[in-house]
């Protein structure tokens, strides 16, 4: 599942760049329109066009060639490029629906474009519809006819749906020239709501949590029904657009924006069902629900609780499909472990219910790699009765960074306690926060304050430097608010507007190894070089005696991290922190060359090339199984990001 550090070090050193490309002549020709990158497909000789655009897509239009092909992966011939300006290439980098070359005559449109500013073709007699909309697209619904067809390029007949209310949720057809035009055309034809780059709402919709990676999807689909999701996936597949769902938008790599420009983002913000079945305790939850609203909803409906992380704005879609750690996880398991079934839209547009008995392979794969296999429109999660109270504790230490030995001995003592079954069982979890000056430990205990103060606290603090301590009993809901760091766990369904600009990566530390004195010492020395870089490290306890996380294996779900003692998150602010954060990983990994470290899927690190990501996140065995399944259910890689299965 993970790989030895000697290999890691080599791979990490190339983590920020793709492996050097093979000579042009020896490359495999792209069969899915993608090019360059870790697979190194060439466009030369492909059916999509010979130019590999700067965004990694084959084509032959100006939108591919205009800002220069990636010459190692194909070239523009003079006949393949048009003379249009390249200013739109960022959103036009998909393989299909290349813009038409303007023609002086009124040809009948064969691609849905029309009118004076969009190719000059007429819509009369096309299969798209007879009306050429004000913005240059053929169609027959109110979205096209409503604002009047362009004179001379086709007409709305009485049967065209003009005035129909069926498109009231659908964006009007307002695209200018765009290679994703056929996808938009298809969405219009199926009355699927969407926003495109020119819509005023677009910027707010696509703004990711991580502002450092502001990718621009070609189109944002806003489904209200499962059928909308199904139709959108079919439209994307037909047009050759890559698809990613957006739930809470908190991907560290902005993968829900596609992970590069030009994808179809399917934004699940309207899928907000939260329905608790009081009998079974199973909650039916829409794929766009954020964690705070989930926790609030099930508690309000039936005093129920479920395992997940602490940030209320994180979405169920990414969190529950890539792990999901919170203070409940050592007791109840990861968030993903609570999923008992899911409704999933697959690459061919079908909707399937996946569970341990129905489509079990899909069920296995979406818990670890959902973004590569489909879109979960509905989760079914097993809740449990919320505890009437929980003990919250927090120790803030002084002077930990005064010397290497204090830092090292403090951590080694906590690590010893974490593995000591006479102190630690499944009822406790905690994490350590450090930032080069501050060092604190906080967590939750499923027991009373008295039990904690007599059985756990003395052992945790024994021999350690002085600390300010807080130990308090809290009601479940108050505890959720406390650890959220916000004044409320309820989050707005639309217009969520919290963001950061950061780079983060993780290290999973196997229980068998733990962190050694040398690794901690080297880490201490390295942190002293931070200078003006603003960063923090959170080290969460996943393993130890009784951990529910580690009681499962890779047969249960496509999630390999079931033997970690610690999971580190190394987080730096702004792009300037990237080198320093990479160095934190290196300091630890290089100090323990015999240890198989890995990485945590929910802290996805965009600096890894696909092959490295696959090794770190899945290991060879699980990745092979995922890749084989991907070939079966999504051979065209409709669901794609730069680290997706098959990328």
Binding site for ligand FAD (CB under 6 A): 209, 244-252, 255-256, 268, 287, 309-311, 314-315, 317-319, 321-326, 370-371, 375-376, 602, 641
Taking alpha carbons only, the member of 162, 374, 195, 380 closest to residue 270 is: 195
CA 584 to chain centre: 23
Min separation Cβ 43 and ligand FAD, Å: 26
Nearer to ligand FAD, 133 or 641 (CB): 641
DSSP 194-205: EEETTSTTHHHH
Min separation Cβ 11 and ligand FAD, Å: 22
| DSSP type of residue 563 | S
Min separation Cβ 288 and ligand FAD, Å: 7
Alpha-helical segments (H) within 190-251: 202-206, 226-239
Min separation Cβ 536 and ligand FAD, Å: 12
CA dihedral over 123, 126, 131, 137, signed as positive or negative: negative
Min separation Cβ 320 and ligand FAD, Å: 8
Min separation Cβ 483 and ligand FAD, Å: 9
Nearer to ligand FAD, 404 or 499 (CB): 499
Nearer to ligand FAD, 176 or 355 (CB): 355
Min separation Cβ 427 and ligand FAD, Å: 19
Q: 448: number of CA atoms within 13 Å, CB side?
A: 3
Min separation Cβ 226 and ligand FAD, Å: 12
Min separation Cβ 632 and ligand FAD, Å: 18
Both structure tokens of 62: 């100006």
Do 32 and 644 touch, CB atoms closer than 8 A? no
Taking alpha carbons only, the member of 231, 257, 232 closest to residue 245 is: 257
Min separation Cβ 289 and ligand FAD, Å: 9
CA distance 37 to 215: 17
| DSSP type of residue 552 | -
Give the dihedral of Cα atoms 487, 491, 492, 494; nearest 10 deg.
Answer: 140
Taking alpha carbons only, the member of 334, 381, 343 closest to residue 362 is: 343
Q: Which residue has the tokens 């009784």?
A: 546
Min separation Cβ 326 and ligand FAD, Å: 6
Min separation Cβ 263 and ligand FAD, Å: 9
Please name the helix (run of DSSP H) or strand (run of DSSP E) that holds residue 51, with its range, or none: strand 51-52
Min separation Cβ 329 and ligand FAD, Å: 8
Number of helices and strands in the chain (H, E): 17, 24
Min separation Cβ 227 and ligand FAD, Å: 16
Do 3 and 615 touch, CB atoms closer than 8 A? yes
Nearer to ligand FAD, 64 or 319 (CB): 319
CA distance 76 to 58: 10
Nearer to ligand FAD, 401 or 603 (CB): 603
Nearer to ligand FAD, 61 or 244 (CB): 244
Min separation Cβ 290 and ligand FAD, Å: 7
CA distance 477 to 521: 40
Please name the helix (run of DSSP H) or strand (run of DSSP E) that holds residue 414, with its range, or none: helix 404-418
Q: Which residue has the tokens 């199926």?
A: 190
CA distance 205 to 201: 6
CA distance 279 to 301: 12
Q: In sequence order, what are the beta bridge partners of 131?
A: 139
Nearer to ligand FAD, 49 or 248 (CB): 248
CA distance 539 to 475: 26
Nearer to ligand FAD, 43 or 342 (CB): 342
Taking alpha carbons only, the member of 272, 314, 279, 319 closest to residue 297 is: 272
| DSSP type of residue 453 | I
Do 176 and 91 touch, CB atoms closer than 8 A? no
Angle at 472 between CA 467 and CA 474, to 5 degrees: 145
Nearer to ligand FAD, 319 or 505 (CB): 319
Nearer to ligand FAD, 136 or 249 (CB): 249
Alpha-helical segments (H) within 2-155: 5-13, 62-65, 142-145
Nearer to ligand FAD, 162 or 314 (CB): 314
Both structure tokens of 560: 């390999």
Closest-CB residue for ligand FAD? 317
Both structure tokens of 19: 């492996």
C-alpha distances (whole Å) from 147 to each of 168, 258, 341 are 13, 32, 44
Nearer to ligand FAD, 53 or 310 (CB): 310
Length of the chain: 647
């Amino acid at each position: 599942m993970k790989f030895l550090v000697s290999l890691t070090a080599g791979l990490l050193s190339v983590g920020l760049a793709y492996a050097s490309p093979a000579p042009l002549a020896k490359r495999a020709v792209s069969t899915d329109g993608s090019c360059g990158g870790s697979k190194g497909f060439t466009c030369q000789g492909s059916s999509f066009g010979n130019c590999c655009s700067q965004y990694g897509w084959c084509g032959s239009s100006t939108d591919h060639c205009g800002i220069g092909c990636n010459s190692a992966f194909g070239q523009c011939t003079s006949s393949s490029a048009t003379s249009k300006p390249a200013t739109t290439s960022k959103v036009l980098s998909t393989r299909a629906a290349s813009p038409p070359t303007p023609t002086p005559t009124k040809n009948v449109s064969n691609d849905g474009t029309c009118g004076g500013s969009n190719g000059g073709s007429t819509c009369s007699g096309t299969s798209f519809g007879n009306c050429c909309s004000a913005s240059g697209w053929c169609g027959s619904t109110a979205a096209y006819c409503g604002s009047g067809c362009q004179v001379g390029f086709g007409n709305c007949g009485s049967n065209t749906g003009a005035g129909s209310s069926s498109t009231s949720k659908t964006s009007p057809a307002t695209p200018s020239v765009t290679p994703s035009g056929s996808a938009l055309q298809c969405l219009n034809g199926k009355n699927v709501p969407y926003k495109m780059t020119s819509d005023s709402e677009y910027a707010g919709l696509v703004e990711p949590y991580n502002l450092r990676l502001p990718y621009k999807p070609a189109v944002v689909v806003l489904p209200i029904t499962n059928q909308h999701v199904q139709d959108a996936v079919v439209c994307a597949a037909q047009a050759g657009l890559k698809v990613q769902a957006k739930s809470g938008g908190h991907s560290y790599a902005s993968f829900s924006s596609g992970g590069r420009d030009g994808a179809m983002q399917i934004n699940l913000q309207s899928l907000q069902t939260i329905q608790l079945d009081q009998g079974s305790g199973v909650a039916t939850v829409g794929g766009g629900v954020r964690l705070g609203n989930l926790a609030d909803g099930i508690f309000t409906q039936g005093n129920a609780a479920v395992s997940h992380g602490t940030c209320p704005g994180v979405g169920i879609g990414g969190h529950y499909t890539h792990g999901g750690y919170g203070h409940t996880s050592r007791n109840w398991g990861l968030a993903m472990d609570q999923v008992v079934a899911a409704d999933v839209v697959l690459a061919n547009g079908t909707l399937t219910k996946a569970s341990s008995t129905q489509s079990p392979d899909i069920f296995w794969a979406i818990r670890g790699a959902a973004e590569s296999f489909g879109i979960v429109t509905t989760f079914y999660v097993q809740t449990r009765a919320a505890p009437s109270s929980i003990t919250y504790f927090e120790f803030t230490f002084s002077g930990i960074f005064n010397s290497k030995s204090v830092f090292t001995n403090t951590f080694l003592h906590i690590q010893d306690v974490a593995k000591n079954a006479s102190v630690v069982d499944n009822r406790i979890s905690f994490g350590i926060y450090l930032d080069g000056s501050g060092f604190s430990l906080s967590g939750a205990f499923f027991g009373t304050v008295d039990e904690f103060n007599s059985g756990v606290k003395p052992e945790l603090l024994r021999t350690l430097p002085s600390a300010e301590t807080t130990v308090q009993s809290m009601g479940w809901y108050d505890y959720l608010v406390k650890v959220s760091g916000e004044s409320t766990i309820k989050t707005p369904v639309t217009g969520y507007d919290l963001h950061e600009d950061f780079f983060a990566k993780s290290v999973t530390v196997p229980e068998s190894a733990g962190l050694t004195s040398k690794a901690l010492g080297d880490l201490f020395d390295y942190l002293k070089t931070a200078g003006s870089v603003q960063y923090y490290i959170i080290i969460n306890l996943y393993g130890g005696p009784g951990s529910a996380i580690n009681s499962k294996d890779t047969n249960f779900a496509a999630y390999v991290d079931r033997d970690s003692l610690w999971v580190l998150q190394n987080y730096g602010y702004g792009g300037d922190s990237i080198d320093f954060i990479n160095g934190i990983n290196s300091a630890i990994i290089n100090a323990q060359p015999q240890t198989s470290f890995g990485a945590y899927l929910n802290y996805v690190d965009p600096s890894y090339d696909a092959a490295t990501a696959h090794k770190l996140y899945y290991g060879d065995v699980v990745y092979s199984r995922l890749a084989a399944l991907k070939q079966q259910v999504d051979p065209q890689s409709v669901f794609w990001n730069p680290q997706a299965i098959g990328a």
